Structure 1
Amino acid sequence: MRKILANIGWIFFDKIFRMAIGMLVSLWIARYLGPAEFGVLNYATLFPTILAAFAGFGLTNTLMVEFVSNNGNPLEQRRLLQTGLFIKLLAGCLMYGLSCCLNYILNRDNPQLFFLINVTGLILILQSSDIIDTYFQSQTKAKLSVVVKLISFGLASIIRVYALLTKQGILFLALINIAEMVIVYGLIVGIYQNRIAKIASNFRQAISYELIGQLLRISWPIMITEFFVFVYMKVDQFMIESLSTDKELGLYGAALRLSETWYFIAIAINTSFYPKIAESWSVNKEKFYKQYQELINVLTYISIALAIFVSLFSHQLIDLLYGADYEHAAIILSVHIWAGVFVFTGVGTNNLMIIKNLQKFVLIKTIAGAFINVYLNYLLIPEFGALGASIATLIAYGLQAYVLNLFFKPARTVFNLQSKSFINFLTLQRPMTVKIS
């Protein structure tokens, strides 16, 4: 238990520290650029990530489960890591090439945006370092990757401040983001090689077509699901850019900075507690579900408390942090923050869906959520701009992450866990701490 709390403590420290410093620098950038240019930078950063799911191939969640199930077999864990890294590197290179092609077709007449997107698209290759980060988290060694991220983030933040003080342009700011990822990649690979094993050691023997096929068979539904998760989480920004204005996109981006910045809490709690909860699955199902209910309770209480607070003080927060130019972002924020309730409970039940072999159902309901979101955005954005996108997002998240679980019998257990957590909050039941014995 002490090891788990230390692990979650390091993840929280990393996220809170980076959130605090990153928020200050991001606010400075938003004020410096103004809503219109801030919208352009957001769009350039967002564009290549539409292919991120295919570059990641759904391996992060799959390998978390595999690393945990092979805790007593370090050689197999190393083999899984090497194979996963190979798959993600190859897929990342292919997706970066595709991103450049799509960018040429759509944005070749806008040289600045075209170059910005090609620079930010390198994230598709660099995200492969997530495999090593996932391994460290599965072994409750989050401290190792946290130190790497803090060093990289600190250096990048100093350069961002320099860029703002010397009035550098958007391209310079985009290059800093990629430089940060390059530093993370180099350091995290170096730490793994010094502390655990040489990645290149027996690399050819570790890469087998059988293991690649096994991982891809498990992961492909997750990969497609993650793509449609991106669609229903990020398509609103693409549609604002095409159906409204850069200024509306900048306002929406400002609201999202404050709304989505809290999602790390759900990820940190879930990632740290899940490995120990999972140990009860094959031994004691009753204990497993009791612990899982407690986990969902904690996530629900935290997310609703955050939503209430941010909704009540959205105008004050926007005015204080962004200034008068962004005043219309307050109503956008007060609506969008409630989507986080369904994000928190969705993150909490992701691993349960995998362990119950419900990946295909998750894929189907995610596709449904994506189409609902696109349709609602198409109806609401022309009339209400970024506020319409927030309303569409809230409805789509609620349907996808919660309501649709009711209509598929094997997933009804998940629906019941979520419903009970909502009822516990409404009836003022004391939130329970997740106890791992």
Structure 2
Amino acid sequence: MELKKRIAKNTIIQIIGKGLSTLLGIASLAIMARYLGASGFGEYSTVITFVSFFAMSADLGLTLISAQIISNPNENQEKALSNLFSLRLFTALILLGLAPITVLFFPYDQVIKLGVLISTLIFLFPALNQILIALFQKKLEMEKVMLSEVISKTFLVIFIFIFAKINQGLTGMLWASVLSGIIGFIILWLYSQKSVKIKLEFDLIFWKKIIKRTWPLALTIILNLIYLKGDILILSLFKSNEEVGIYGASYRAIEVIGTIPYMFAGIMLPIFTANWLKGENKFLEKIIQKSFDFMIILALPLAVGTQFIATKIMMMIAGQDFGSGGPALQILIISTAMLFVSCIFSHIIIAINKQKKVIGLYAITAALSLVLYLFLIPRFSYIGAAMVTIFSNALILLGTYYYVKKFTSFQAKFVVLKKSILSSLGMALFMFLVPKSLYANNIFILLIILLAGLIYFSLLYMLKGISKEDIKTFMPKKI
């Protein structure tokens, strides 16, 4: 099977799987938000954000580098995966173990401190999953990952529903996530063992080699945490649980969408790496351009369309109490659109092993974002927090593009971008002309979204932003 069709197959599988996973994620958010209310969901958001600082610090860049390492033909795949898995387990246990100790020094209620203790398990199993996923990324067998994710999310919805029914409160919602995470890990582990016998290995020489290679990534991840997660943490220290909950629900809705670019970039990373190592720069530039165009095509209509329905979307998903999160969602979706594109560029930087070069970019972004959070959040609450995300993501987008252009000679062509903008404007005109009374009905809103998407892609096709060849690539007759 030729590379293009294999990529197409995996992309289709991931789109379908991610679509199902997104629906299940929305369902879990809907049940949880309605059950906990704005204040309770604020506590939940604080807990998850707090622990995520430790979980992401424990990553050490292994999530991004694992697929690259095992794609190297000179590496022993079984040994590499076993050591990567063991290293990830070791760092996760150490750093996640610090979370429930550190939270004792914060002025949070007891329920949040208990929640942090439980949530260390929420992050442990997905952390181990990331090493296993690298194997399936390399083999272009992401259907196994998607199956695991869909089953795990299905159980998450079931557990959340059950614990809400028997009124288990915040801790019940957290245990639901722990149990579903364990199920997802077991499925991936069993699949991986059919290909490679992964076991605990402690080759300290290999670990040292990996850490020497990943420390720039580890540092950039920690810096990323400040501008990506600092908003909710600072908000929780200055504002009420209700305000944290409203912003947290908007952020959670965005995070569901935000997995799309990482999913696609994860597929492309081994391909970027292989072509760079082979010196096939012209083909690499072509792949980068195609990836850039694909992200633009997806991101622009999301950013534009959400401006018309943000408040309704928040009320549909999380309930009437969260309607005031609409303005935050309108802002956050713009920063997420930027993330779609910058995600591709940041993965290319990893593929060409230039992580050290971008540390300064992430340090400056983190420092400026922290200052802006501390200045704007006390004055403008979650609207100020959301505005900072636009600034930080714009800075990362421009910076990562600059470095990709510098090191690969890639020069982005904006033909598809221009056509996507025109198509988005046509879609926006349709959504503007729709009678406001129709937006009051949830069924009509879903119909409007479908029609808006149809108009966007029809206009894009007529403007030759996408071609029959592109459609055939992602819808091959035989894959």
Establish whether TM, by shorter chain, passes 0.5.
yes
Counterpart of 1:140 in structure 2: which amino acid? L
Q: How does 1:70-219 map to 2 (within 5 A)?
A: 70=73, 76-106=76-106, 110-126=109-125, 127-193=127-193, 195-200=194-199, 204=201, 207-219=202-214
Match of 2:329 among 328, 333, 345: 333
Q: Deviations 1:84-143 (Å, cap 9, x if unpaired)?
A: 011111101110221122022225x73221111100012443212210112112211112
Q: Deviations 1:360-406 (Å, cap 9, x if unpaired)?
A: 12222112111121111122112211011010111111012225754
| 1:322 counterpart residue number | 318
Task: Label 1:393 to 1:420 Cα distance change in 2 as closer, same or farther (>3 A).
Answer: farther
1:260/1:337 contact within 8 Å kept: no
For the residues of structure 1 that align with 2:268 and 2:417, how far apart are their CA atoms?
21
Q: Say whether residues 1:271 and 2:279 are aligned partners.
A: no
Task: Label 1:117 to 1:420 Cα distance change in 2 as closer, same or farther (>3 A).
Answer: farther
Q: Which runs of 5+ in 1 are unaligned?
A: none
1:93/1:125 contact within 8 Å kept: yes
Task: Label 1:412 to 1:426 Cα distance change in 2 as closer, same or farther (>3 A).
Answer: farther
Match of 1:253 among 242, 248, 259: 248
The share of aligned pairs that are identical, in percent, is 19
For the residues of structure 2 that align with 1:123 and 1:21, how far apart are their CA atoms?
17
| 2:13 counterpart residue number | 10
Task: Label 1:128 to 1:25 Cα distance change in 2 as closer, same or farther (>3 A).
Answer: closer
Match of 1:373 among 355, 369, 376: 369
| 1:23 counterpart residue number | 26
2:29/2:317 contact within 8 Å kept: no
CA shift for structure 1 position 4 = 2.1
| 1:285 counterpart residue number | 281
SS of the residue corresponding to residue 353 of structure 2 reads: coil
2:238/2:377 contact within 8 Å kept: yes
| 2:290 counterpart residue number | 294
CA shift for structure 1 position 307 = 0.4
| 2:58 counterpart residue number | 55
Counterpart of 2:21 in structure 1: which amino acid? R
SS of the residue corresponding to residue 69 of structure 1 reads: coil
**Mean alpha-carbon deviation: is it higher for 20-29 or for 290-299?**
20-29
For the residues of structure 1 that align with 2:342 and 2:400, how far apart are their CA atoms?
12
For the residues of structure 1 that align with 2:223 and 2:415, how far apart are their CA atoms?
27
Q: Deviations 1:277-325 (Å, cap 9, x if unpaired)?
A: 5443324211210121111111012111110011121122223333332
Match of 2:380 among 377, 380, 384: 384
For the residues of structure 2 that align with 1:188 and 1:306, how far apart are their CA atoms?
31
For the residues of structure 2 that align with 1:29 and 1:53, how far apart are their CA atoms?
24
Task: Label 1:89 to 1:403 Cα distance change in 2 as closer, same or farther (>3 A).
Answer: closer
| 2:338 counterpart residue number | 342
For the residues of structure 2 that align with 1:419 and 1:403, how far apart are their CA atoms?
17
Counterpart of 2:119 in structure 1: which amino acid? T
Task: Label 1:284 to 1:81 Cα distance change in 2 as closer, same or farther (>3 A).
Answer: same
1:406/1:412 contact within 8 Å kept: no
Counterpart of 2:245 in structure 1: which amino acid? G
TM-score, normalised relative to structure 2: 0.82
Count of residue pairs the alignment pairs up: 426
For the residues of structure 1 that align with 2:106 and 2:24, how far apart are their CA atoms?
35
| 1:361 counterpart residue number | 357
TM-score, normalised relative to structure 1: 0.90
